[in-house]
Structure 1
Amino acid sequence: MSVITVAGLQLALPPNTNNFDTIASQVRSVKKRFPHLTLVMLSELATFGPAPRFAETLPGDMEEKYRTLATETDLWLITGSLFERADERVYNTASAISPQGEVVARYRKMFPFLPYEEGISAGEEACVFDIPGVGCFGLSICYDMWFPETIRALTWQGAEVILHPTLTNTVDRDVELSIAKASAATNQCYLFDVNAAAPMGVGKSIIAGPGGETLHQSGAEQDVMVMDIDMNYVRRVRETGWNSLGQPLKSFRDHPIDYPQYQAGARSGCLDNLGPLRKPGSKLA
């Protein structure tokens, strides 16, 4: 199968409450309207909002509800993310669930939005999964995208589509749109960057193609983004370049340099001199 249909749900959901019933209704509705739909993804922390008190172990009750919903609707589901409690820590974790209700991947956000996303631990592993007969998908969450290495790590593992739930309600959203497009172009992949609408987020979700082209950009209001994507298009762009232009993945593969910043134990005097990571205006204890 070369072409599949993916939906990103930019929903207007209240924070600090259980939104599962509303989300399930939206998932059922989009599947009913578009029976050929393959995958649905939510925004970051859509289910409860940014409230770590709702953290649960995984597997857990809420993930089980999403497993049942995936089976009922015959869809691949990306839960956006849930706060996961594990080993006395809390992680921001996205689950990928198959139409058979199997959790095929869990990804822990590697870059919590520090110093503001306090008390959330960082994940350590890039995460990809395969949809049989379709292709390879990578999971990324919100602030991860500000670190190019995270998307490149997914591409390195074979990801052709990056599923990137986010939760942004700040003035840097327009910058994130530029990062999403640049990440898609430099990694020659589709990138679904799905934000929440108000009151949790400012919307402006974007779907970018492997040339960095904007395939769809939402406004601030609730939006159900349904998009056909062609996996053969990604593969052709990687083989011959977007519009027969640059082939950055091949150049990255073939370049002999060992980047000094990635060597074990490497330090940067410039970065070390930036001082501690703390909120502006705060003082060290």
Structure 2
Amino acid sequence: MSTVKIGLVQMTCDERVEINIEKAKAKVREAAAQGANIVCLQELYHAQYFAQTVSLDHYQLAIPHDHEAIVEMQELARELGVVLIVPFYEWAAKGVYFNSAAVFDEAGNHLGTTRKNHIPDGPQYHEKYYFTPGDTGYPVYDTKFGKIGIGICWDEWFPEVARILTLKGADILFYPSAIGSEPDHPELSTRTAWTKAISAHGIHNGVFVAAVNRVGQEKDMNFYGGSFISNPMGEIILSLDEQEGILVQSINLKEIEFARNLLQFLRDRRTDTYGPILEKSLVPVTTRNL
């Protein structure tokens, strides 16, 4: 099918997991009622953003696949006949936790789980303490409504991720996120840079982009929302501001071929010249000028 409806759920999160589950379920139902075929929740949907601080206690928020936060979403996908992307803090083994997103098809089948590859660390984003770097690579899921790829939050900033997912056949790139205030720079909002960087992946690769962020105040951080869908020319089709809500937008996958025929980035790639990109740095070691 060429016409697909995407649904994004942008919501505030409570300290109580059960509240977040019920709120997310209600919003998925709302999106499905508006015709959404693929619905994506925000990063770590079942909990507040606990990585603001370092605490052993927060490891208790990690959940296995048979937790109600996952099982009830799987059942909901089957009931509503939608593909559902469910980002969560995954308990994989004792002491091994991932920042993950499970994917369920319209029949409730578990198509797989993407684990976040790029793990940031900075003031109030202490993710390296909580998350093991992903080991699933960059899977693409072939669904009834198109081929989809997922990059989780920090992954979304890396052009390499978008290119790999595109080369593996993704039509739509989903980016579940949790991004907001910068404690070292309270006067700064990264929202404009976030939107531009991610929507640009659509231009470079000729794909649709769907980015969903959380919103609202959680302890010392404020999340700015701004969830959006952009087309293969990088144009923002629809977006949300700093409020809870759902975003449902119809897209036509035929636009992908038009964009790629117009801007032949994939044709003109020079893979034989890209070896240096695998190096951490190509700059010679010199005395740092302070």
Q: TM-score, normalised by structure 2?
A: 0.83
**How far apart, in 2, do the equivalents of 1:174 and 1:137 lie?**
25
Match of 1:95 in 2: 102
Match of 1:268 in 2: 281
How big is the shift at 1:222? 1.4
**How far apart, in 2, do the equivalents of 1:271 and 1:61 lie?**
52
Number of residue pairs matched by the alignment: 262
2:198 is aligned with 1:196 = no
**How far apart, in 2, do the equivalents of 1:27 and 1:37 lie?**
9
Q: Which of residues 81, 86, 101 in structure 2 aligns to 1:74? A: 81
2:27 is aligned with 1:26 = yes
How big is the shift at 1:16? 5.4
2:163 is aligned with 1:141 = no
Q: Flag structure 2 segments of 5+ consecutive residues without an equivalent.
A: 51-58, 182-188
Match of 2:172 in 1: 161
Matches within 5 A, 1:32-47: 32=33, 34=34, 36-47=35-46
Contact 1:202 1:220 in 2 (8 A): yes
Deviations 1:10-52 (A, max 9, x none): 11232453310111112222323x2x32111111112222344
Match of 1:259 in 2: 275
How big is the shift at 1:271? 9.2
SS of residue paired to 2:133: coil
2:65 is aligned with 1:58 = yes
SS of residue paired to 1:228: strand
Contact 1:15 1:199 in 2 (8 A): no
How big is the shift at 1:84? 0.8
Contact 2:225 2:243 in 1 (8 A): yes
Match of 2:228 in 1: 206
Alpha-carbon spacing, 1:199–1:272, altered in 2? closer, same or farther (3 Å)? farther
2:252 is aligned with 1:230 = yes
The one-letter code sitting in structure 1 at the alignment partner of 2:168 is Q
2:163 is aligned with 1:152 = yes
**How far apart, in 1, do the equivalents of 2:11 and 2:285 lie?**
40
Moved more, 57-66 or 162-171: 57-66
Match of 1:250 in 2: 267
Q: Which of residues 80, 83, 90 in structure 2 aligns to 1:84? A: 90
Deviations 1:164-204 (A, max 9, x none): 11011122222111111211111111000101121352111
Q: Which of residues 180, 189, 193 in structure 1 aligns to 2:198? A: 180
**How far apart, in 2, do the equivalents of 1:271 and 1:37 lie?**
51
How big is the shift at 1:57? 2.2
Moved more, 159-168 or 196-205: 196-205
Moved more, 136-145 or 111-120: 111-120
Contact 2:31 2:247 in 1 (8 A): no
Q: TM-score, normalised by structure 1?
A: 0.85
Q: Which of residues 132, 137, 140 in structure 2 aligns to 1:128? A: 140
The one-letter code sitting in structure 1 at the alignment partner of 2:214 is A
**How far apart, in 1, do the equivalents of 2:27 and 2:285 lie?**
47
How big is the shift at 1:8? 0.6
